[in-house]
Amino acid sequence: MDLAELRADFLRPSELAHLARFPALVDLPVILTLRRPEDGGQWRGAEADRRRLLRAALGPGGRPYAFLDLEHDLADAELEGAARARGCRLIRSYHNFRGVPPGLAARMRRMARAAGARGDLPKAAVRVRGSRDQRRLAEAFRELEGVEKILLGMGEYGSFSSILAGKLGSWLTYSWPGRRPASPGFAPPSEAQLNPRTLLELYRFRRIGPDTAVYGVVGHPIAHSRSPHLHNPGFAALGLDAVYVPFLADRLPAFLRAAEALGVRGLSVTVPFKQQALRLALRAGLQAAKGGAQPGGAGLHPGGESPLLSAAGAEALAVGAANTLIAEGAGGRRWRAANTDVAGFLAPLEREAPAVLQPGTEATVLGAGGAARAVVHALTRQGLNVLVLNRTPARARALAHRFGCAWGGLDTQGAARLPDYSALIVQTTTVGLDGAGDPLPGYRFRGEEIVYDLVYGPEPTPFLLRARAAGCRTIAGEEMLRAQASEQFRLYTGRDLPDLRQ
């Protein structure tokens, strides 16, 4: 059911005189809210005037408000009586802008008991400041299963609670099409992400229920992630009851506890958590093995799991990083680490330029960060001779030593060695992410190189454009993004990710 909320505290004084007429102007049941400042509202007048306006708004005649949002600590028998007389249900709301308080579930239970006796709806809106708060909020949702309530986490860390309202049993959630957040502290990941259209079309909000399988991507930052735009349409095309949610996190261990409480089944892991994700999964697996329970964690599983997952688990160990975590067991208390970056990197090459993957081919990798590790692992395993060039030469050396490659700086000297390793050039630095910059301006393409840039965006990077202009065959980062997402989708669902590109 759709509702409209009138935030009367945002109105001009001249408009406030006409509150009673508003419900007749809209085609939806309306919630009336005139929020005082201590609860994040814009109302600056006297409390007595606020209540007088609310009473007037509930006055006889015309179409009544369907709901009146009143702060949980407000006792005003006259106002409450006026609302009930008009068939207007009360929402009793509690706000906390400082964070998710301990004991939120107990507080909510008390509110629910008091509210329930009168047919009211209890509501809590709490600011989620980071992953510890995410854990508290997720655990509160779990403890409050079956309790009729409105519960939502404010801020980007809490946006999952809006998307998953139907799964977590929040009676409603709030969304708005405008640019300005309707309530201070309630800033979604980006305006575009949680506007009503995105909720309905990307996340299929109306279809999310208690049985919906939850997947997501965890990182910091996360708002720019393209993964929800790949996985959610895939679920929709296959008619799967599943949703894929972006999770901003600041501490991976606390976030994973939150994810367990939410019943998340699988996670894509991105910057900066890929290495830690592998470590945590390994540690949990070791502890489980010591405790005599079913061992889990990449490479520690004795068998019985899907061959796909054990192969991707072995990749995670080889790369030293996981881009995927799969929840294991009923409560999802443990995570299996996997890496689909390797397969995702290789797939476009196998499709577009398989000849370059012959043993002995000379290749250069620009960069020595997390993405470069997966690339260098993939190439050296295929038997290519690899040169690693990086702005910080010590990092190039460390990576090259691990995988037995040549190395150098991302400078004139390093570039001078490049012609000997130029059948394939893979660009893994972050240069070009913002649509500008060239990691190797001094290098002149001969036109024979295969050039693969991992940076993805709506436009090819300047580096890729320059290579293309010189006649090189090029592969854009979008290809790898899709390919690694397809591998993840297979791990999540056992199905192929449908290619929905026009």
Asked if 55 contacts 88 with a C-beta cutoff of 8 angstroms, the reply is no
- Give the shortest CB-393-to-ligand ATR separation in angstroms: 8
Measured from the CB atom, is 205 or 273 closer to ligand ATR? 273
Nearest to 258 by CA among 335, 320, 329, 312: 335
How is 350-397 classified by DSSP, letter by letter? HHH-GGGGSTT-EEEEE--SHHHHHHHHHHHHTT-EEEEEESSHHHHH
- Give the shortest CB-272-to-ligand ATR separation in angstroms: 8
Torsion of CA 88, 90, 91, 95, to 10 degrees: 130
Angle between helices 307-319 and 274-290 (to 10 degrees): 120
Kindly name the residue from 123, 167, 274, 290 that is annotated as catalytic: 274
**How many beta carbons lie within 10 A of that of residue 217, not counting itself?**
24
The residue type found at 391 is R
Measured from the CB atom, is 121 or 319 closer to ligand ATR? 319
Measured from the CB atom, is 19 or 388 closer to ligand ATR? 388
The binding site for ligand ATR (CB under 6 A) comprises 271, 367-372, 390-392, 395, 410, 428-431, 439
Q: Is residue 274 among the annotated active site residues?
A: yes
Asked if 64 contacts 87 with a C-beta cutoff of 8 angstroms, the reply is yes
Nearest to 449 by CA among 483, 416, 475, 414: 475
Nearest to 479 by CA among 352, 372, 330: 352
- Give the shortest CB-390-to-ligand ATR separation in angstroms: 5
Compute CA distances 136 → 123, 130, 131, 140, whole Å. Answer: 16, 10, 9, 6
- Give the shortest CB-365-to-ligand ATR separation in angstroms: 9
Measured from the CB atom, is 274 or 334 closer to ligand ATR? 274
- Give the shortest CB-122-to-ligand ATR separation in angstroms: 44
Measured from the CB atom, is 76 or 411 closer to ligand ATR? 411
Measured from the CB atom, is 58 or 410 closer to ligand ATR? 410
Measured from the CB atom, is 249 or 368 closer to ligand ATR? 368
User: Using CB atoms, what's the residue nearest to ligand ATR?
Assistant: 369
- Give the shortest CB-334-to-ligand ATR separation in angstroms: 25
- Spell out the residues 6+ positions from residue 431 whose beta carbon is closer than 8 angstroms to its own: 437, 438, 439, 455, 461, 463
Omega of the bond leading into 188 within 30 degrees of 0 (cis): no
- Give the shortest CB-480-to-ligand ATR separation in angstroms: 12
The residue type found at 441 is P
- Spell out the residues 6+ positions from residue 319 whose beta carbon is closer than 8 angstroms to its own: 339, 341, 342, 373, 374, 377
Give the catalytic positions in this structure: 274
